[in-house]
Amino acid sequence: MASPELQALVAMLRSSPVVASGSLEDGRKGLDAMSAMFPPPADVRFEAGVASGVVIERAIPPGADPERTLLYLHGGGYVMGSLTSHRQLAASVARAAGITTVSVAYRLAPEHPFPAAIEDATAVYRWLLAQGSQPGRIAILGDSAGGGLTVATLLALKAAGVPLPGAAVCLSPWVDLECTGASMASRAAVDPMLSRGMLLGMAAAYLAGADPKSPLASPLHGDLAGLPPLLIQVGTAETLHDDAVRLHARALAAAVDVTLEPWEDMIHVWHAFPMLPEAQRAVARIGEFVRAHLGVRAG
């Protein structure tokens, strides 16, 4: 049963949507402004940087294992989201995993359409390797569009012959830009955040005429064989629920070590709302997964 905190949050989101019907710029500002309601953990230190021309931000928790890294790809439908909007989530996951998170400020559409986001994500991953990071000691994590970008990044790296990371995590991933999952309709009445129409508009801005079935745009259509262990978390009250279910099925068919965790009554990327007890448990679970697969040393 949903916690009282979740029930209150859903009521708030229905009365004041995070992404309103205004301009894209208003949506970007609104998403960043919402982050002020949820500051990051006070004991996490942040460092700004640039990696191969891409702006990044490190979130460094106390006692972080210096030899392991979590590459974080934020959500926002490829058209919004930033280091600011997702700083709390990136920092919370860093603490849970006991390692530094490197968040990527990848270029956004429509100014920079597909495949700009993939180019930036892969550039930062290659930069980590060039800095001496071992691939098996890196994990990639993304939420929403960032979850799809996580899988697309893995596919792009595999195609280029670049050693893959030790693990990956997808939170409420968007992996089908045609939005054909049955939950687009079956969960429409219970999802307070995303609709099929909204997602299709974001997809059009990102694709700019590219084929939505391209595996790097919609990694549901990609060859997932050889990908690293994968954790997928999704709420049952999401229009994107079936993206996660179908990604899990495709990964299983490709013999990937994949775990699907459907969280009852959870909304899209509930992890980003730290007052939710369900968010705290989900983030702790992510930390356990990353620690186990990267061999993180206790701080």
**Dihedrals phi, psi of 2, to nearest 5 degrees:** -65, 140
CA torsion sign for 109, 20, 177, 253 is positive
DSSP readout, 99-130?
A: EEEEEE----TTTS-TTHHHHHHHHHHHHHHH
The active-site residue, picked from 238, 241, 271, 278, is 238
SS3 content of the chain, % helix, strand, coil (to 5): 40, 15, 40
The answer to whether the CB of 181 falls within 8 A of the CB of 241 is yes
Pick the closest to residue 276 from 3, 1, 10 (CA basis): 3
Helix (H) or strand (E) holding 49, with range, is strand 45-51
Pick the closest to residue 144 from 88, 74, 192 (CA basis): 74
Q: d(Cα 261, Cα 235) in Å, to the nearest integer?
A: 8
Residue indicated by tokens 């997808």: 170
The active-site residue, picked from 74, 221, 241, 268, is 268
The answer to whether the CB of 79 falls within 8 A of the CB of 25 is no
Catalytic site includes residue 218:
no
The answer to whether the CB of 293 falls within 8 A of the CB of 99 is no
Angle (CA) 97-92-284 rounded to 5° is 55
The answer to whether the CB of 230 falls within 8 A of the CB of 202 is no
Catalytic site includes residue 238:
yes
The active-site residue, picked from 85, 144, 172, 183, is 144
Greatest Cα-to-Cα distance within the chain, rounded to the nearest angstrom: 48
Catalytic site includes residue 264:
no
Task: State the catalytic residues.
Answer: 144, 238, 268
